Structure 1
């Protein structure tokens, strides 16, 4: 049936042409935007995923900038630490030269002072955008990543870099008592030293060994004594009195010429003295008529045949660890010397810091050494006072400000023999601190650079993934466009033909 009111063919052709034009619009939008999913209505799920990933890429771009800033900051600190290490090595060369007695120590001291001032200049200028990593103890955190879980939650990851203190300040002593902290004990020749903190006090160990020679001995008896590995043998020829035997061993010991070791003889008594400040003496005897004894309250340890050093020690704990801001104060000969711990320091650092403090301010005759027990691994500060007043006290307080990593550099003075000797060991501690700082910065910078490369590669991978989801396939789009253009032309032609159908009805009324 034909109708002039309803043209079904034209309606079909029109709907087809509308569909073609709609597809043409979509293809043209893909061509103009380059995306197959440009808005949420194109594909809501894909669009949502792509937007989350795009936000992550934007975040990683900011992280990359932060890592670049962090790397530059650490690079400045590393170069400063390396420069300080070189300058300290130069100072060590001057200190070594000052060990000779026939050099101009005043001029050497002038050179050391100039190098010291240059170190301060380097550490003061080693800042990047206002952050100085070689002057302080606080940690610095650098944002390194944003980690998204499967549930969608995001957590921030950070690279923590420890600031290294290469300043020369003495710090500040805390004023809050820490009497309940067991850090160590005091031992030495003084009668009963009492530490100001919780810990046991070791009984006094002597610097003398007394060997008692019994009554006259008959011919053919053999006796021997071993002093620090050197053997002295004696075989009696005829009846020998105990006095003569003591005189023989005293003369033999003195003839060895061992530094700091002397022997004296009395009736039937041989006393061997060790006046070395930081060296113990090994003594062993064989022969039934030679026995150990005591003299002047100083006990010789017969169990291991060791006459202890002439020094009093602060023996630090092998289990406790110093806390940032803990101040250790040693009292000797009416003066006190303080070192305040920084973050992450060990008992060895405390011992060396106290040694530096004493060497920097001590009166003449006081010498120090840092020792480690080869059996227990415990660190000790040994103090020897040549005047004989060797009583030590130890006090620990909390709430102080840490001493600088190069504490004691200002006090290096090689114009005297004692100063030159003390400076030699102290400069080694400072060089070790600067080397540790440079190594720590180097490791941190390398990690930051690795993370920066990873973030760059990760961002590229995310961008590629986003593109694979939302970007238009231009080859496919081009082919579809040409096909739609042909369909559009055919649709227009079909609609034109359909619109001509009512014209044929006129022939029926002619």
Structure 2
């Protein structure tokens, strides 16, 4: 049935043409934007995922900038630490030269002062955008990642950079509530200048031979004409061993005193007698070092600002620990504090006992050092890693000797700082490379979800254009159908 009111063919052709035009519009949009999913209406779930990932990519780009800034700051700090190490090595060479007595120590001291000034200049200038990693102890955090959990929550991750204080600051002694004095024990309150002794008892016999061993040296003496002659011969033989700081004297018939003024060295002794009814004994097999010892408990954790003080003869010598330091650092810091005072009769040495505890040994060759004590409190401001550098003085024999040990400790501090910075640089470089690769992977993933397949879109466009032309022709034919009805009325 034909109708002039309803043209079913035209309606079908029109609907088909609308569908073709809609598909053609989408295809043209894909070609012009390059995206298959350009807006939420194209595919709401894929669009939402892509937008979240695009936000993450933008965040990672900002993180990459943060890592670049941190890497540059670390590069400056690392260069400063290495330069300071080189300067301290130059200072050590000057200090070694000053050990000789026939050199102009005043001129050497002038060179050392110039190098110390240069060290301070390097430390002060080692900043990037106002941030100096070789001064102070406060940690620096560098944004390194954004971690998205399965529930959609996001947390920032950071790389913590430990500052390495290479300043010469003394720091400030704490006034906190925690008493730290129990973390160390003092062997004696008086550092005596006298010798430590052992008593040798001799039982005489005319046919006897007497052997005394001091360290790795031994001597054997035959009995003399009488007891006194024998005692004198034994004492003379011991003294003839030529051990610096060790001597023997006859106190009374049958009794000798062995004395040691060695500051930081124990003296091992053994005696024996053979022949007849002779006897020989010693009241101790070890003459202890003359120095008194402060022993620090190795198992105790040292916190930033923990302040330790050694006091004697009315003066205080302080060291304030920084972050990450140990009891070894405390012992060496107190040694530098005492050495820096220039007390010509007082010398120090840091050792470690069999239990692993660090010890500060304090010796005295002058008048007795009295009231030796250790105290400590928390809440201080840390001493600089090059604390004591200002006090290097090689103009005297004592100063030159002390300076050698001090500069060795300072070199170790600067080497440790440079190594710490180098390790942190490596970590940041690795993270920066990972973030770059991760950003590329995320960008590629987003593209896989929303980007258009341009080859497919091009082929589809040509097909739709042909379909559009055919649709127009089909609609034209359908619209001509009512014209045939006129022929019925002709």
TM band (smaller chain)? over 0.9
Contact 1:333–1:389 (CA<8 Å) still a contact in 2? no
Q: 1:57 to 1:177 in 2, by over 3 A?
A: closer
Aligned counterpart, 1:289:
279
Q: Please give the secondary structure, in 1, of the residue aligned with 2:282.
A: strand
Maintained 8 Å contact 1:243/1:269: no
Deviation at 1:183, TM superposition (A): 1.0
User: Residues 155-170 of structure 1 correspond to what in structure 2 (within 5 A)?
Assistant: 155-170=155-170
Equivalent runs, 1:169-188 vs 2, <5 Å = 169-176=169-176, 178-179=178-179, 182-188=182-188
Match of 1:217 in 2: 205
CA distance in structure 1 between the aligned counterparts of 2:186 and 2:281, rounded to whole angstroms:
30
**Unpaired runs of 5+ in structure 2?**
none
2:383 is aligned with 1:384: no
In 1: Cα distance, 2:82 partner to 2:63 partner: 28
Cα deviation for residue 180 of structure 1 reads: 6.0
1:279 alignment partner, one of 246, 265, 290: 265
Instruction: Trace 1:189-208 onto structure 2 (pairs within 5 A).
Output: 190=190, 207-208=196-197
Unaligned runs of at least 5 residues, structure 1: 194-204, 294-301
**1:251 partnered with 2:241:** no
Give 1:189 shift.
8.2
Q: Partner of 1:6 in structure 2?
A: 6
| Partner in structure 1 of residue 69 of structure 2 | 69
Further displaced range: 326-335 or 10-19: 326-335
Measure how far apart 1:188 and its partner are: 4.4
Aligned length: 483
Write the distance in 2 (CA, Å) between the matches of 1:176 and 1:385. 32
Q: Residues 64-463 of structure 1: matches in 2 within 5 Å?
A: 64-176=64-176, 178-179=178-179, 182-188=182-188, 190=190, 207-214=196-203, 216-219=204-207, 221-236=208-223, 241-266=226-251, 267-287=253-273, 289-293=279-283, 302=284, 305-373=285-353, 375-391=354-370, 392-463=372-443
Q: Is residue 189–residue 373 contact of structure 2 (8 Å, CA) maintained in 1? A: no
Moved segments of 4+, more than 6 Å: none
The farther-off stretch of 475-484 and 324-333 is 324-333
CA distance in 1, matches of 2:175, 2:227: 60
- State the secondary structure of the residue aligned to 2:168: coil
Task: Please give the residue correspondences for 1:467-506 in structure 2 after superposition, counting only pairs within 5 Å.
Answer: 467-506=447-486
Asked if the contact 1:167/1:406 (under 8 Å) is kept, the reply is yes
How far apart are residue 363 of structure 1 and its match? 2.8
- CA positional deviation for 1:187: 1.2
**SS of alignment partner, residue 390 of structure 2:** coil
CA distance in 2, matches of 1:207, 1:340: 33
Q: TM-score, normalised by structure 1?
A: 0.92
The whole-number CA distance in structure 1 between the counterparts of 2:177 and 2:201 is: 48
Distance 2:181 2:242 in 1: 46
CA RMSD after TM alignment: 1.7
Contact 2:212 2:220 (8 Å CA) reproduced:
yes
The TM-score, its normalising length taken from structure 2, stands at 0.96
8 Å Cα contact 1:383/1:390 also seen in 2: no
